[in-house]
Amino acid sequence: MHIIMIAAENAALTGGKAGGIGDVIRDVPLALARQGHQVSVLTPGYQQLTHLNPASRIGGIRTVFAGKPEVLELFRVQPAHNDNALVNHYVLDHPLFASCGPGQIYCHDTHAPFATDAHKFALFCTGAAQWLISDLLHQPDVIHLHDWHAALLAVLRRFHPRYSALKSIRTVYSIHNLSLQGIRPLRAEQSSLEGWHPELMRDDLWRREPGLQSIVDPRYDGCINLMRCGLLLSDYTHAVSPTYAQEIQRPSEPERGFTGGEGLERDLQTLAQQQRLIGILNGCEYPAVHNPAPGLAKADERRRLLQSIRDTLNVWATKQWSSGQGQIQASLFYALQRVDEWQKRRKPAAVSLLSIGRLTDQKLSLLRQPLPHTSGDVAVLDRILNDLGDGLYILVGTGDPALERFFTQAMQKHQNFLFLQGFSEPLADALYGAADLFLMPSSYEPCGISQMLAMRAGTPCIVHQVGGLRDTVRDGYNGFGFAGNSVPEQCEQLIDCVAQACSIVRGNGEDWAMIRQQAAATRFLWDGVIQDYIRKLYAS
């Protein structure tokens, strides 16, 4: 079987990852190839991926976009990891793909959400559709689209006469995060369906093709919803965990802290009734030989890790100076100061907590919530840190500037908190196995990879029992979980859950040993996941 993956990210390529979707696009094709399937992956090149990875030009893809001819350059790219040679990795490149600078996968428009990204990904999808019908590619059996960035291809496949040959190819659409839907106007702007493909906005076509109504956002008349396009116009829709597939069939209730279908729940209910909505949990790669680290109980291990953190901070600081930013960010200054203080202490940490990931409201807003039954000056994070006492809490990541400021200020107030504003994969790998507990209090989580990486390293997790977190972490068995029917309840249960988990760690008894062993032994193997892909998504 020949499967084509089309996505915005590909972590198999240096510079090709911005989030968890990149990990999936690296791992799923490789797992399919190991089972004998031919797999090709196509992403934009962002005017940089062909410079960061060995690449050979195949040719130009000529198409029409925004009413004029365009040429996109097609490259075959060789990933750094030898195993990925089993997969055919391609990129399409065009100056538009570097709209926010070379190598920037996503832009962050404030004046017109998704405008820049939707425009560049619309050109990418148009080039991908042209590639799929060209003689440069052996015709696939399955086209697998990932998230809204690839969804316009489903529109072209169904409604554009130039790409009608694609209708006979099974098309699958994966939802990685339903909250990001790529909503843009239908008309009157450059970044709109009319701006991308004016031929699809003819009145006679809409009368002849009533299915075109499926591309319109159900809440905002006059807008195209690219996420909706992907899930309704594909043969099967895939959610990245079974629990998430159930959650998105219910309306979102922000006042209760519940994120569900985000306006698309009726469509998803219909797909579920038609047995076209399939929940399959993502997997994780596991090394052939792995010995989980024993946490930070030993003083010498703690000293080595703190020195590694300090070295990383110095590298980040040097990069800031050399890039002309003037002075070290406040967060780097306080982090270096904190590490110096910890290195002078002889007493090892009682309990060590860790969080690694993008700083977004989805991931961390519960920590910033005012403590229930207080005046609002004290946040949930303050209470957790006060309860932690002599322990350490290390948070690694970048993202929302408001969250970056919040965690920098928290580091000023609390001697047992370290905020590392940046990311280093080698340091992250070391930290996963060095902490006692991994904290992941996401408000919602389609699947999640960080909890799998922590458990792989033998570190039990404290998680909000939603989405993929509920499917991977069992409270009291291989980790700890909290819930709650409102944001205040979730905050209270989070505080209690962290306190309970820390108490078990401090006790260092049989219960803690068993939870650690079961976390380390828990496996989410791609081989089993791929069997579900073949049977439930790809089979005729």
- pLDDT tens, 49-62? 999 999 999 999 99
pLDDT at 326: 44
CA distance 251 to 420: 36
pLDDT over threshold 50, residue 114: yes
Cβ-proximal residues to 135 (8 Å cutoff; 6+ apart), any chain: none
Q: What percent of the chain has pLDDT over 70?
A: 94
Instruction: Answer whether 148's CB lies under 8 Å from 21's CB.
Output: no
- The sign of the torsion formed by the CA atoms of 464, 469, 471, 472 equals negative
For residue 108, the model assigns a pLDDT of 83
pLDDT higher than threshold 80 for residue 494: yes
Fold equal for 2-239+527-538 and 299-523 = yes
- Mean pLDDT value across residues 200-223: 89
pLDDT at 302: 74
pLDDT of residue 323 exceeding 70: no
Over residues 208-218, the mean pLDDT reads 89
pLDDT of 135 reads 86
Mean pLDDT across the stretch 128-132? Answer: 97
Query: The tokens of 497 are what?
Result: 């859950």
Tens-digit pLDDT profile for residues 267-301:
999 999 999 999 999 999 888 765 555 555 455 67
Q: Which of 161, 153, 192, 181 has its CA nearest to residue 66? A: 192
Using 50, 70 and 90 to split pLDDT, how confident is the model at 439? very high
Instruction: Give the residue with greater pLDDT, 254 vs 327.
Output: 254
Of the candidates 10, 4, 32, the residue with the CA atom closest to the CA atom of residue 532: 32
Tell me, what DSSP letter sits at residue 479? E
Domain ranges within the chain, ordered by starting residue: 2-239+527-538, 299-523
Neighbours of 47 (CB within 10 A): 18
Is the confidence at residue 377, as pLDDT, over 70?
yes
Could you report the per-residue pLDDT of 393-433, keeping only the tens digit for each? 999 998 888 999 999 999 999 999 999 998 888 899 899 98
Q: Cα(46)–Cα(93) distance, rounded to whole angstroms?
A: 6
Closest by Cα among 392, 396, 370, 395 to 383: 370
* 3 state DSSP class of 460: coil
* CATH number for the segment(s) 299-523: 3.40.50.2000
Query: What confidence tier does 347 reach under pLDDT thresholds 50, 70, 90?
Result: low
- Give me the CATH topology for the region 2-239+527-538: Rossmann fold (3.40.50)
